[in-house]
Structure 1
Amino acid sequence: MSARHPFDLTGKRAIITGSSKGIGRAIAMTMADLGAKVVISSRKREACEPVAQEISERGGEAIVLPCNISRREEVTALIAGTVEAYGGIDILVCNAAVNPYYGPLAEIDDGAFDKVMNSNVRSNLWLCRDAQPHLAKNGGAVVIISSIAGLRASDNIGAYGISKAADFALARQLGAEWGPQNIRVNCIAPGLIRTDFARALWEDPQRRSLREETTPLRRIGDPEDISGVAAFLASPAAAFMTGTVVTVDGGVTIA
């Protein structure tokens, strides 16, 4: 390990999907603050531009490469565009995900189930496979943003939970396969975080109050509660970690 501090990301080239807002945006900001050159990516360029602009104003370096992760050709273009702009890839954060259905599994239609699995699992495999040759050159890191929904059952987001449990398995499998190339693959399992994506779960006062009361730290999370953990997993400080799931949920799954 180098003499620089173990959380330094200076010069590292990082792609963060779904980084126009929420957890992805926070991860991009934190990694840029730690010295990484970041790629801001989501479906629409206009949503990404303000994030890249803010990073630049804070003295960091960022570019925008739009990508709908459910489209194979756009995933390929995202990886190729990053390599063209930065000369390689050191960090891949698979953060973008969808959840088009709330309700019991017995009532989900095939289209909705396929959308969840394709966007939340298959697209992550696409991203990882396309990035793998570039990550292998310098010993890179993949961070998959999963969810505690993959750790326990739910009465309304079961399909999403299945996809997130599959992401745990994806990290373990790729961690084992790619470890000899010095590529590390880890997962984060956030609890309830104050994002637009999870708004239906925290905006209702009664539901939120119940969650806070049953969470040891007595609050829901903020995106910044996840971003530091993602930066840690991508940094030299986590150089001996791969295939792991780091739970960041205020203690809700232990209560």
Structure 2
Amino acid sequence: MSAEIRTTEDVRNRSSVAGKTAVVTGGSSGIGRAIAAAFVADGADVVVCSRTQADVDAVAEELNDADLPGSVLPVECDVTDRDDVDALATATVEEFGGVDVLVNNAGGAGEGGPLHEVSPAEWERVVDVNLTGTYNVTHAFADPLREDGGAVVNTASMAGRYGVAGMGPYSAAKAGVVSLTRTLASEWAADDVRVNAVNPGFIATEGVREWLGIEGIPDRETVDREVGTTEEVADVVRFLASDAASFVTGQTVAPTGPPNLYTAPQ
């Protein structure tokens, strides 16, 4: 038997983000909001940003009033705007002294349609927010992350793995996010920065529920299902951000339920 046996407290502490400072982009709704809520409930201080101040103010008010151990700082930020992104990094460092966890969650699928019908402007818009936005924010936080070590978690998509008809710009951009994740994991390992991604499948955000005609939230206790919850993605992100994932970097974890080829549930 090993001479060192970890206590329950040791295990819980390594699996927690308590005491960490985290930044969550696209945090006003859906998966981003669920990640922010999970981190605050765990005891992290979270900077939540989106393009509209009123939206992140509402998240901050709700979570800060919930008597949770962490706190929320709302910041308006468009991840495609470098001035906004630089201001986000400055505000975070001024308020908390640095950053431990960066979650690049901001994104969007765009209008969709066959690639030959996608305008250059729409292609640029979708790639800008999903891929270039991830670069912009990570680049802005590079110095504080590399100074003290930390974790980056990027939100990709199963669309980036399979390539989905009618979602060309989004699929390409999310595939780029996965590749960027692996590149940064190699480049920043010596700085004690872990970089991972999540590839969610069909998740019951408001938009997806409307699209698929789903009423209510899926039961998390049921394994054999094709739609997951935002909290299930948040739990995976929380693990990747915690010290329990100390030997996990350059990986893409897929909260998808049973394997499929990314075809919409019937």
> TM-score, length-normalised on structure 1?
0.90
- The separation in 2 between residues aligned to 1:125 and 1:155, in whole angstroms, is 25
Structure 2 CA distance for partners of 1:246 and 1:73, relative to 1, 3 Å: same
| AA partner of residue 28 (structure 2) | S
* Cα shift readout 1:182-212 (whole Å, capped 9, x = no counterpart): 011100000011113435642379xxxxxxx
**Paired residues of 1:19 and 1:41 also in contact (CA < 8 A):** yes
Once the 2 structures are TM-superposed, how far is the Cα of residue 100 of structure 1 from its aligned partner?
1.9
3-state DSSP of counterpart to 2:102: strand
- The separation in 1 between residues aligned to 2:124 and 2:178, in whole angstroms, is 18
- The separation in 2 between residues aligned to 1:151 and 1:22, in whole angstroms, is 21
How many residues were matched structurally? Answer: 246
Partner of 2:192: 182
**Paired residues of 2:106 and 2:133 also in contact (CA < 8 A):** no
Partner of 1:210: none
* Cα shift readout 1:132-163 (whole Å, capped 9, x = no counterpart): 11112221100000100011132221221111
Q: Which runs of 5+ in 2 are unaligned?
A: 1-5, 216-222
Partner of 2:248: 241
- The separation in 2 between residues aligned to 1:204 and 1:10, in whole angstroms, is 34
**Paired residues of 1:142 and 1:234 also in contact (CA < 8 A):** yes
User: Is 1:173 equivalent to 2:183 in the alignment?
Assistant: yes
**Paired residues of 2:18 and 2:39 also in contact (CA < 8 A):** no
User: Is 1:48 equivalent to 2:56 in the alignment?
Assistant: yes
Partner of 2:67: 58
Q: Which runs of 5+ in 1 are unaligned?
A: 206-215
Partner of 2:15: 7
Query: Which of 37, 42, 52 matches 2:45?
Result: 37
Structure 2 CA distance for partners of 1:197 and 1:74, relative to 1, 3 Å: farther
- The separation in 1 between residues aligned to 2:248 and 2:236, in whole angstroms, is 13
Query: Which of 54, 73, 78 matches 1:68?
Result: 78
| AA partner of residue 45 (structure 2) | K
Once the 2 structures are TM-superposed, how far is the Cα of residue 218 of structure 1 from its aligned partner?
1.8
Structure 2 CA distance for partners of 1:193 and 1:25, relative to 1, 3 Å: same
**Paired residues of 1:7 and 1:34 also in contact (CA < 8 A):** no
- The separation in 2 between residues aligned to 1:145 and 1:120, in whole angstroms, is 9
| AA partner of residue 147 (structure 2) | K
Query: Which of 183, 199, 223 matches 2:230?
Result: 223
> TM-score, length-normalised on structure 2?
0.87
3-state DSSP of counterpart to 1:64: strand
Q: What is the CA RMSD across the aligned residues, in angstroms?
A: 2.1
Range moving further from structure 2, 243-252 or 191-200: 191-200
Partner of 1:124: 134
- The separation in 2 between residues aligned to 1:217 and 1:48, in whole angstroms, is 34
- What percentage of residue pairs aligned between the two structures are identical? 35
**Paired residues of 1:192 and 1:202 also in contact (CA < 8 A):** no
Range moving further from structure 2, 7-16 or 23-32: 7-16
